[in-house]
Amino acid sequence: MSQLNEHISQLREDFMKGTLSESDISTIPFVVFEKWMQEAIHAKVNEVQAFHLSTVSKDGKPSGRILYLREFFDNHYYFYTNYESRKAIDISNNPFVSFTFFWPELERQIRMEGIIAIASKEKSDAYFNVRPTESQIGAWSSPQSKVIENRNILDAYVKDNTNKFENKDIPRPEHWGGYVFTAQYYEFWQGRKSRLHDRISFTKNGDAWKIARLAP
């Protein structure tokens, strides 16, 4: 353990791939997000759609997990999950959450804070209907975040639902669907040499966005 900790403590990476200035980015943060997403896709960033979702429970305990962004436009961001999961329970008690994207290939990070709500049934149905059949079966089969005795229990649920929906259109279960996140705060981070990183923030101020540079 001591050797591992020594190794970790000595890891160093000097960030040299870019700069970030108030003068060369849009004054609208979701336009910056779209541009950075396009650049990440062009750079073939691995799992470019993956982000860290942070929630807080009703008793103030934070929790985080990695999810996939499935759609975004203007200032709205969509993902899909089980409405009975731990994250969904947290959201039902406290709709304020944060998103974090990290793209090491570009030495970039994006943080967003805001409020989240259940997406429309039409939006959830549309996305569920284009999922692979195995994923649709999985949505019906997994009691997400619940304790199960062993893997065989889950396999049995999958088998039962596979038989149930054989040669049929699979409807979206009521306990599964989308969320839409509306950002009220953004921070764009570009790694720089000697840990003197560039950090530009956007804070919602009425109908406008207030831009500021943050110390690294």
Look at residue 162 and tell me if it is in a domain.
no
Look at residue 7 and tell me if it is in a domain.
no
Look at residue 137 and tell me if it is in a domain.
no
CATH of the domain at 27: 2.30.110.10
Taking only the tens place, the pLDDT of each residue in 88-147 is 999 999 999 999 999 999 999 999 999 999 999 999 999 999 999 999 999 999 999 999
Alpha-carbon distance of 158 to 123, in angstroms, equals 25
**pTM, entire model:** 0.90
Look at residue 4 and tell me if it is in a domain.
no
Q: Which of 65, 111, 172, 195 is catalytic?
A: 195
Taking only the tens place, the pLDDT of each residue in 49-80 is 999 999 999 999 999 999 999 999 999 999 99
Look at residue 121 and tell me if it is in a domain.
yes
Its domain, for residue 188, covers: 14-131+174-213
Nearest Cα neighbor of 142 from 157, 132, 161, 164 is 157
Asked if 195 is an active-site residue, the reply is yes
* Structural domain total, the chain: 1
Cβ pair 73, 136 in contact under 8 A: no
Look at residue 139 and tell me if it is in a domain.
no
